[in-house]
């Protein structure tokens, strides 16, 4: 098994990620997040929000609808240009992304020795259509948003008028996006429904300023991954070739992660120029310019965007955290990402006095942390199970605890154990979990 297969299996077995609609045979490119996956996703989004929004004065949050007036997508260029080139195998009519050489080669090998003929590449639009309306026949076609970005740009004027921000400022959003991907795959890496975490940062229309701001956000975004414990050696920047860039981008850089299936885009940073606001001004007839009080100039701002998925970085964090040591599997997730921060065990499940004290420790800690409870099997097995889901600390209540009002705290990574007074536990854990941003 390679490490991706191991992660897929662990994710299913331990309640991180399940195939979507599994009992009905599934739905390609969709995934459901189990109890632990939901916590992990939540933590990841919260870390992003804290880092990108809460700590800063000039970034505002937004939460726009998934469904939008279809004119939005005409204006943004997506109905025309949000396409992937696809080729079709003339033998079995399966379709592939024309730029995905490894999938194409793999497919040819399945036709063992037969000469496979491919059609010329055709453009395939990635927007997912939906029908909206109550009466059959009168329903109108809308699109599930292909990027969460447009919800921000169409609200640019609303944010200006309600918050009166001074340029430069940003609008941040987290939410679902949908793409009719031709070949979803590599587990949750490429799916048809996923979440994005984006910042649209509005600046003066000036190339020198744009370069400076672009470099700033590139660094910030890389620091976010490294700050959450991702191995620097597995991360790199890659600039897009001009013919690779999306229709809205003047410049585009990816933060790539070295996965078992190669170096892959984890997140993109884009110089969108005035593409979005100009087009929405033109198509809506609304004036989306900004008046700069200082210079007394009116202009259409430019946009530098940072755009990450949620599930794709989540997969990279899982791959990065996975390690096998002697007799155990450990997910060395950063404590701020770990689904459970701590687990509490009574040494023996059939000793009511131990269970009672352990339950009261569990109850107190639950006020401040996500806490697991386990009273099954022996202690070694419980440690193993918590290591495998990345719980940074395990607390055991034993017979001595009844006397000295202290418990054993065991560290996931070093496996070292320490005795800590019950009354000092919460403080102790907070210090060691690095729960606050410096």
For 86: left if phi > 0, alpha if psi spans -120 to 50, otherwise beta; the answer is beta
Strand order in the sheet with 393-397: 371-373, 342-346, 393-397, 406-411, 417-421
- Which residue lies nearer to ligand GAP by CB, 305 or 387? 305
* 217 vs 345 by CB, closer to ligand GAP: 217
Indicate the Cα dihedral angle 214, 309, 320, 31, nearest 10°.
-170
Cβ 12 to ligand GAP, closest distance in Å? Answer: 18
Q: Is the CB of 271 or the CB of 362 nearer to ligand GAP?
A: 271
CB of 162 to ligand GAP, least distance (A): 23
Distance from C-alpha of 141 to C-alpha of 356, rounded to nearest angstrom: 59
Tokens of 308: 């990450």
75 phi, psi to nearest 5 deg: -60, -40
Question: Which stretches of the chain bind ligand GAP, using CB under 6 A?
Answer: 147, 149, 179, 181, 190-191, 194, 196, 198, 265-268, 305, 307-309, 311-312
Closest CB 174 distance from ligand GAP, rounded Å: 12
Cβ contact 281:154 at 8 Å: no
Q: Which is nearer to ligand GAP, 41 or 382 (CB)?
A: 41
**Cβ distance to ligand GAP smaller for residue 279 or 312:** 312
User: Closest separation between CB of residue 274 and ligand GAP, Å?
Assistant: 16
Question: 363, 390 in Cβ contact below 8 A?
Answer: no
Backbone angles phi, psi at 36, to 5 degrees: -80, -35
Least Å from the CB of residue 232 to ligand GAP: 19
For the bound state, the minimum distance from the C-beta of residue 272 to ligand GAP, rounded and expressed in Å, comes to 8
Least Cβ distance, residue 250 to ligand GAP (angstroms): 13
Residue nearer to ligand GAP on the CB measure, 265 or 292 = 265
Q: Are 378 and 369 in contact (CB under 8 A)?
A: no
β-pairing, 17-19 vs 297-299, is unpaired
Q: How far is the CB of 344 from ligand GAP (least distance, A)?
A: 35
Shorter beta-carbon distance to ligand GAP: residue 149 or 289: 149
Residue nearest to ligand GAP (CB): 309
Query: In whole angstroms, what is the distance from residue 86 CA to residue 283 CA?
Result: 30
**Closer residue to ligand GAP, CB minimum distance, 253 or 340:** 253
Q: What is the Cα 434 distance to its own chain's centre?
A: 21
| End-to-end Cα spacing for the chain | 40
Bridge partners of 408?
396, 419
Q: How far apart (Å, rounded) are the C-alpha atoms in residues 337 and 45?
A: 10
């Amino acid at each position: 098994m390679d490490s991706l297969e191991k992660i897929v299996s662990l994710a299913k077995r331990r309640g991180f990620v399940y195939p979507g609609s599994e009992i009905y045979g599934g739905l390609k490119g969709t995934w459901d997040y189990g109890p632990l996956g939901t916590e992990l996703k939540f933590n990841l989004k919260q870390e992003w929000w804290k880092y990108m929004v809460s700590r800063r004065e000039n970034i505002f949050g937004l939460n726009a609808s998934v469904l939008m007036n279809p004119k939005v997508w005409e204006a943004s260029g997506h109905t025309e240009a949000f396409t992937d080139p696809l080729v079709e195998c003339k033998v079995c009519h399966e379709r592939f992304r024309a730029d995905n050489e490894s999938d194409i080669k793999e497919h040819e090998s399945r036709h063992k020795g037969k000469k496979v003929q491919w059609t010329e590449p055709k453009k395939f639009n990635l927007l997912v259509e939906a029908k909206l309306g109550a009466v059959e026949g009168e329903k109108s076609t809308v699109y599930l948003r292909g990027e969460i970005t447009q919800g921000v740009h169409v609200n640019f004027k609303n944010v200006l008028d309600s918050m009166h921000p001074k340029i430069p400022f940003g609008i941040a959003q987290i939410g679902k996006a949908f793409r009719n991907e031709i070949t979803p795959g590599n587990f949750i890496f490429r799916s048809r429904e996923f979440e994005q975490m984006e910042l649209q940062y509005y600046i003066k229309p000036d190339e020198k300023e744009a370069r400076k701001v672009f470099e700033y956000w590139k660094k910030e975004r890389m620091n976010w991954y490294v700050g959450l414990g991702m191995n620097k050696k597995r991360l790199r920047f890659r600039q897009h070739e001009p013919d690779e860039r999306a229709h809205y981008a003047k410049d585009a850089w990816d933060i790539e992660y070295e996965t078992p299936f190669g170096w892959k885009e984890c997140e993109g940073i884009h110089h969108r120029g005035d593409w979005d606001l100009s087009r929405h001004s033109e198509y809506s007839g609304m004036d989306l310019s900004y008046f700069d009080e200082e210079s007394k100039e009116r202009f259409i701002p430019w946009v530098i965007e940072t755009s990450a998925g949620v599930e794709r970085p989540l997969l990279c964090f899982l791959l990065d955290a996975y390690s096998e040591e002697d007799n155990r599997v450990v997910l060395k997730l950063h404590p701020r990402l770990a689904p459970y921060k701590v687990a509490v065990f009574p040494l023996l499940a059939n000793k009511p006095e131990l269970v009672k004290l352990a339950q009261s420790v569990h109850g107190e800690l639950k006020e401040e942390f996500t806490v697991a409870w386990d009273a099954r099997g022996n202690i070694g097995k419980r440690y193993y199970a918590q290591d495998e889901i990345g719980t940074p600390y395990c607390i055991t209540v034993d017979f001595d605890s009844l006397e000295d009002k202290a418990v054993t705290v065991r560290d996931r990574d070093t496996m070292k154990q320490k005795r800590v007074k019950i009354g000092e536990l919460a403080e102790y854990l907070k210090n060691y979990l690095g729960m606050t941003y410096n």
